[in-house]
Amino acid sequence: MENTFPKDFVFGTATAAYQIEGAVNEDGRCPSIWDTFSHTPGATFAGDTGDVATDSYHRWREDLALLNDLGVDAYRFSIAMPRIMPTPNGIPNAKGLDFYERIVDTLLEYGIKPVVTLYHWDLPQYLEDAGGWLNRVTSYALGDYAAVVAKRLGDRVDTWTTLNEPWCASYLSYGAKEQAPGLGLGPGAFPAVNHLNLAHGLMVQAVRDIVGDKSKYSVTLNMPFNRGDADACHRLDLIANRAFLDPMLRGRYPDELFAITKGICDWSFIQPGDLENAHQPIDVLGVNYYSTNRVAMSDRPQFPQETGPSTCPGASDIDWLPTDGPHTDMGWNIDPQGLYDTLMRVHDRYPEVDLVITENGMACRDQLVVNEDGTKAVHDADRIDYLERHFAAAKRALDDGVPLSGYFVWSLLDNFEWYFGYAKRFGITYVDYATQERTKKDSFLWYRDFIASRG
Ligand code: BGC
Ligand code: BGC
């Protein structure tokens, strides 16, 4: 595939702390909700935990060298709050800051832009014990933590991303039982939505107060894209997308969101000042995109009453239908047109922000092969095909006027895939979990050549 992206287009890869670091008890890190959750029997698919993961806390140099070989312009990684603020007393842990400073400085030596995610789901357990995202105190704690990180890393960071996928951090984590803390409260997750929006704004303000406009500010969302019945799609768009984007980018919740959740949520947890705080200027909106959904209205009534666990409270009368194939190893459909449609729609609605694809990639059943000369390889042709088709869709959106400035492949490495543990491989680098040996997959080599051939 010819690379016709502009010269200044940013190519990168992405990871997240709990998925790669391991070393959960080292250098003063405190437990996070993911440590607690993954150690709860039955919570993850095969009982896997992130205790070791890809051991990147120790192998970070080797991993950053991979990035250098790949020739990326930027690396998106997350900072673990449990390493920086390991106790509720507000005193930063110097060893945690040292670790991320080494990463940032090594990236800069390689000429790779650090794109930091401040919160990728690893909430300190002590905050959860006080109510977690259901308690607005958590939002303020995140703001304080952001200030601590900004004071140390300051303008060496290219882009500060506050949150990764607040949809997952609220609905999947508090509404359903799929992700930590897995409370399954259904509509009881809506306070988490508001407190995540608040935390986003407090983090932007905290970092901007210290760094000013020398860095870019951002937030990353997955924006579930649904096809099918128009009313169902509209309602899901309100719950999954606009419940976050409207407060952050417009300073208000859509009235229709209140209307469709009437009877299951009174939104009385929104306090004066929350929306002003949530609504901060940002430069870039991060889009995580993997697949699309197909939905229809069922003949179940929506009310009464939704009280049980739900991944999407307010949508009990909507059915998720099987999607057309092919599917990835996650069972997700492959729909590059959905990426194009997502970018066009988001830009149409929020034309004031640039867009970056902060995650896109594919889980495959990768097989490590040992060649006759002892070298190893992974022939992941399906992943290359997936990436080629999604890059082409992104380029079409760019040509059609979307201010798309970058693309981060998920992921640099196979890693701890949350509920699915080590059973699902998203990496362009294969990790042999028995030895921690890294092997570049064919998709790594493809991506390296693709980046090098741009312009
Ligand atoms: C999400 C889908 C998910 C479905 C069922 C929806 O809210 O958008 O990604 O498959 O819930 O869990
Ligand atoms: C998350 C990643 C995750 C990926 C694949 C996104 O929801 O940000 O942490 O590994 O999707 O499921």
Q: Can you list the domains of the chain with their CATH numbers?
A: 10-453 (3.20.20.80)
Q: Which candidate in 21, 128, 306, 359 is catalytic? A: 359
| Cross-strand pairs, 10 | 406
- Any binding-site annotation on 120? yes
Which residue's CA is minimally distant from atom 12 of ligand 2? 417
Respond yes or no: is residue 359 known to be catalytic. yes
Give the chain's residues under pLDDT 70. Answer: 303-307
List C-alpha distances in Å: 15 to 330, 358, 414, 429.
Answer: 18, 10, 9, 12
Q: Answer for the pair 393, 337: CB distance below 8 angstroms, yes or no.
A: yes
Give residue 307's pLDDT.
67
Q: Answer for the pair 106, 153: CB distance below 8 angstroms, yes or no.
A: no
Ligand number with the minimum distance to the CA of 175: 1
CA 409 to chain centre: 12
DSSP helix/strand/coil, 223? coil
Angstrom distance (rounded) from CA 84 to CA 100:
10
* pLDDT tens-digit series, residues 351-394: 999 999 999 999 999 999 999 999 999 999 999 999 999 999 99
Q: Which candidate in 21, 128, 165, 306 is catalytic? A: 165
* pLDDT tens-digit series, residues 298-351: 888 776 556 678 889 989 889 999 999 999 999 999 999 999 999 999 999 999
- Any binding-site annotation on 436? no
Give residue 301's pLDDT.
75
Given the CA of residue 415, which atom of ligand 2 is nearest to it?
10
Give residue 316's pLDDT.
87
Given the CA of residue 171, which atom of ligand 1 is nearest to it?
7
| Cross-strand pairs, 217 | 160
- Any binding-site annotation on 327? no
Give residue 303's pLDDT.
63
Q: Answer for the pair 17, 120: CB distance below 8 angstroms, yes or no.
A: yes
Q: Which residues line ligand 1 (CB under 6 A)?
A: 224, 240, 293, 311-312, 320
Beta strands in 85-139 (DSSP E): 113-119
DSSP state for residue 169 in the 8-state scheme: I
- Any binding-site annotation on 290? yes
Distance 304 CA to ligand 2 centre (A): 33
Give residue 305's pLDDT.
58
